[in-house]
């Protein structure tokens, strides 16, 4: 090898970028000598051999090769090939094996967000994310390096300075309020950011809470009192859990949004306001509007633009940097996890998204306080179990009859799905324990689709698990209604 281009852990490997429009890349998330590495290696048609570099502390990229400073990676460990819209991986007889989503493989086709392990180095099949032109949004709580979160940042940069209403959608725990706060900060508005949970306003107090009260409006109203909307005058009102807002309240809010004026309780005189409206929901409000459960005209007023916040499973690149942030680890400082812990964090489903990750980090920080050695700080068992389950069958690698034949077959249009059954088998977890299913039912309040998704399966499989263990999900649903 005559020429070697050394790349820092935050660089983009331009040497491989033959077609800028191609989004696929391999993202280096963990390497022993560079545990906070975030290097992106774009995948273009052709082959890339990954192996070990000797006597270096940096990841090295040269024509057709990427070399890692990892003693557990073989000199010629694995070959990656761009195959149509995906990436094929073929182990080259490595000593310590190649793993995809925790299962050992000989040859496989990668899917978006698949985790690949070589020795103690962790890669992710991802989309190429390009940095913003400035750091202005980095300090607004929107942490991450993924293309998905960069799209959210760009949306904030684009929509922030406008007066457009924005509907922020996403699963529970994804950080929708953080996006709303970032939009407010980017707006330049001098007024306050006021957040209100739409489902938590008492029905009998809704008008007075939102629109304010004039002195003498009712017994005990001995003075004028501003409502939530007036408190946001000159600023931003954030309506969280919009899909849970009662219909009567929706009707009263519509005029406020349309006319930018409120009528406090106890008067007929309207007061002008200057409020930007942001809203968030984890529900299908469009479907609710079509069923008549939500006012379509209000939905249109509150969704002049829409921002979707992706779930954590679609932005695995961000898991480790978020973990470090929650534990207040200094950039480049000693990490509190090794390759196994990092892999477990990446493979866990995170049904509660960033909120669950933050809670686990807080739990981990408390339980680790008595330990002086980072490697002695264990993750919760439920997270480590994901990696243990994936390792089942590791001695019987996922492969076709011969690695080269599988790869050649995968290269042909008719053979793109040839490895699919083996890949799915490699990804398939063993049956969860009874206790794990019961815990999941409690977390998801009997929602079988969510239970199945937590373990990477579909709802019919959840029914089979319940039948196997003799579990009735009804009591868990009843807990929600009590």
DSSP annotation string for 165-227: -EEEE--TTS-HHHHHHHHHHHHT--S-EEEEETTSS-GGGHHHHHH-B-TTSSTT--S-B--
Q: Where are the alpha helices (DSSP H) in 270-370?
A: 285-290, 296-302, 319-326, 339-347, 353-367
Supply φ then ψ for residue 40, to 5 degrees: -110, 135
Q: What pLDDT, on a 0 to 100 scale, did the predictor assign at position 306?
A: 97
Task: State whether residue 61 is helix, strand or coil.
Answer: strand
**Dihedral over Cα of 281, 285, 286, 289: its sign:** negative
Report the distance separating Cα 327 and Cα 325, nearest Å. 5
Q: Considering the entire predicted model, what is its pTM?
A: 0.75
Q: Determine the pLDDT at residue 440.
A: 86
pLDDT, position 47: 92
Q: Which helix (H) or strand (E) holds 100?
A: strand 98-100
Q: Count Cα neighbours of 118 within 13 Å in the Cβ-side half-sphere.
A: 31
pLDDT tens sequence for the chain (482 residues): 433 333 333 333 322 323 334 468 899 999 987 655 678 888 878 899 999 998 888 899 888 999 999 999 999 999 999 887 789 999 999 999 999 999 999 999 998 899 999 999 999 999 876 554 444 445 467 888 888 998 999 999 999 999 999 999 999 999 999 999 999 999 999 999 999 998 888 877 777 788 887 775 566 666 778 889 999 999 999 999 999 998 888 988 999 999 999 988 777 888 999 999 999 999 999 999 999 999 999 999 999 999 999 999 999 999 998 998 888 765 555 565 789 999 999 999 999 999 999 999 988 876 655 554 444 568 888 999 999 988 874 443 344 333 344 444 444 433 333 333 444 444 444 678 888 888 888 888 888 888 887 787 778 888 888 888 888 888 887 654 44
The pLDDT score that the predictor gives to residue 375 is: 46
pLDDT at 158: 96
């Amino acid at each position: 090898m005559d020429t070697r281009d050394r790349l820092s852990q935050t660089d983009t490997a331009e040497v491989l970028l033959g077609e800028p429009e191609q989004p696929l890349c391999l993202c280096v998330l963990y390497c022993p000598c560079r545990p906070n590495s975030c290097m992106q290696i774009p995948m273009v048609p052709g082959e890339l051999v990954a192996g070990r570099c000797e006597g270096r502390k940096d990841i090295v990229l040269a024509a057709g090769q990427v070399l890692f400073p990892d003693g557990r990676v073989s000199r010629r460990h694995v070959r990656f090939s761009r195959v149509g819209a995906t990436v094929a991986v073929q182990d080259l007889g490595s000593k310590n094996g190649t793993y995809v989503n925790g299962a050992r493989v000989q040859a496989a086709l990668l899917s978006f967000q698949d985790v690949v392990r070589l020795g103690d180095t962790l890669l992710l099949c991802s989309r190429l994310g390009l940095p913003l032109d400035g750091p202005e949004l980095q300090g607004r709580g929107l942490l991450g390096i993924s293309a998905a979160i960069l799209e959210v940042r760009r949306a904030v940069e684009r929509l922030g300075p406008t007066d457009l209403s924005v509907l922020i959608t996403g699963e529970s725990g994804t950080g929708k309020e953080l996006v709303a706060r970032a939009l407010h900060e980017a707006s330049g508005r001098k007024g306050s950011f006021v957040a209100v949970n739409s489902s938590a306003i008492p029905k009998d107090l809704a008008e007075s809470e939102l629109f304010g009260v004039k002195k003498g409006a009712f017994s005990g109203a001995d003075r004028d009192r501003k409502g939530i909307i007036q408190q946001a005058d000159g600023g931003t009102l954030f309506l969280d859990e919009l899909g849970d807002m009662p219909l009567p309240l929706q009707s009263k809010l519509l005029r406020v949004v349309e006319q930018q004026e409120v009528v406090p309780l106890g008067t007929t005189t309207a007061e002008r306001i200057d409020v930007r409206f942001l809203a968030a929901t984890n529900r299908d409000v469009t479907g609710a509007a079509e069923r008549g459960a939500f006012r379509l005209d209000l939905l249109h007023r509150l969704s002049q633009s829409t921002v979707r916040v992706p779930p954590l499973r679609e932005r695995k690149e961000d898991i480790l940097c978020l973990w470090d942030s929650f534990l207040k680890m200094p950039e480049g400082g000693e990490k509190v996890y090794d390759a196994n812990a990092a892999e477990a964090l990446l493979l866990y489903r995170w049904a509660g998204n960033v909120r669950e990750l933050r809670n686990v980090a807080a739990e981990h920080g408390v339980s680790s306080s008595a330990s002086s050695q980072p490697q002695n700080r264990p993750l919760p068992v439920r997270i480590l179990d994901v990696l243990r389950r994936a390792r089942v069958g590791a001695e019987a690698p996922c492969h076709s009859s011969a690695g080269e034949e599988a790869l050649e077959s995968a290269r042909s249009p008719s053979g793109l799905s040839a490895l699919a059954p083996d890949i799915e088998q490699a990804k398939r977890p063993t049956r969860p324990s009874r206790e794990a299913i019961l815990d999941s039912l409690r977390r998801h309040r009997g929602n079988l689709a969510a239970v199945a998704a937590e373990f990477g399966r579909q709802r019919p499989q959840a029914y089979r698990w319940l039948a196997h263990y003799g579990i009735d999900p009804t009591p868990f649903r009843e807990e929600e209604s009590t």
